Amino acid sequence: MLKNKEINSSIYLPEVAEVVSTRQLTDTEKYIELKLKKPRDFDFIPGQFIQISIFGIGEAPISISSSPFNKDKIGLCVRKVGDVTSALHKLEAGSYIGIRGPLGNGFPVEKMKGKNILFIAGGLGLAPLRSLINYVLETRDDFAEITILYGAKNPGEILFSDEIEIWKKRKDLEIGITVDKPDDSWSGKSGVITRLIPHLDLDPSNTYAIVVGPPVMYKYVLLELQSKMIPEDHIIMSLERRMKCGVGKCGHCQINGVYVCLEGPEFSYHKLKHLSEAI
């Protein structure tokens, strides 16, 4: 029988967290801030995720979107796609949910220090990348050149548009935004995100490319990065969409014997190319 201390630290038992604020980002995405009911520093690495429990409905894995330096609050960008996420969208400040985590392995931030960083985000992929972008910007002197590329289906689906405008004003990074289907309100670039890559002047051996987006995007982004001679172990990709239980028990994330939730969800392309189902 487990002792109380062991029970309280079990990865299978959720902690209670309070919803402290919510903010609608788009028609289908909402930003939700949580605070643990039992106060403690919530330490995590950008790229890790948590399991959200809605009592009586179920559980779902969601990437952490907030900065790791904000240790008392946990920020999530939630897309309404199922029972759990729909229930999350209905919650207001003062509601309580359960969380487990942080889980998985994050981005290799220590290896990236001193390097040029190229962020490539498609759609909801900006949500987990936002955590890493904020980490890099808050420790700006630890990194060389910073480039952010972001693509959305249309202007109405652009996430964190207020922060993007702040990023655009910074002199210590470059940013490129594009939409697949522009409307009358859009005056920026249009087309798929891969159109933004050929114009970049990159130092391949000194650049890490961090790619998060829908699976269909990966194949074409990889082709562009390979044409730029970025080393395979310097291309980091996320398989966060494959997450299920988060602790390697259900097997839903397994690819050729690799449990994505345990070894990932962030992988170098050097490793991913041997997992035929991954990309």
From edge to edge, which strands make up the β-sheet containing 207-212?
189-190, 174-179, 146-152, 116-122, 207-212, 235-238, 266-268
Q: How far apart are CA 15 and CA 244, in angstroms?
A: 18
Question: What secondary structure letter does DSSP report for 83?
Answer: H
Are the C-beta atoms of residues 132 and 109 closer than 8 Å to each other? yes
Residues in the chain: 279
Neighbours of 58 (CB within 10 A): 12
Report the distance separating Cα 277 and Cα 76, nearest Å. Answer: 28
Is 77 labeled as ligand-binding? Answer: no
Cα–Cα distance, 279 to 274 (Å, whole number)? 10
Rounded to whole angstroms, the Cα distance separating 274 from 103 reads: 24
Which residues in 64-92 are b (16+ Cβ under 10 Å) and which e?
Answer: bbbbbeeeeebbbbbbbeeebbebbbebe
Helix, coil or strand: residue 21:
strand
Task: Say if residues 34 and 19 touch (Cβ distance below 8 Å).
Answer: yes
d(CA 23, CA 65): 13
Distance of CA 104 to the CA centre of its chain: 12
The answer to whether the annotation marks 245 as part of a ligand binding site is: yes
Q: Which residues define the annotated binding site?
A: 245, 250, 253, 261
Which residue ranges make up the annotated binding site for [2Fe-2S] cluster?
A: 245, 250, 253, 261
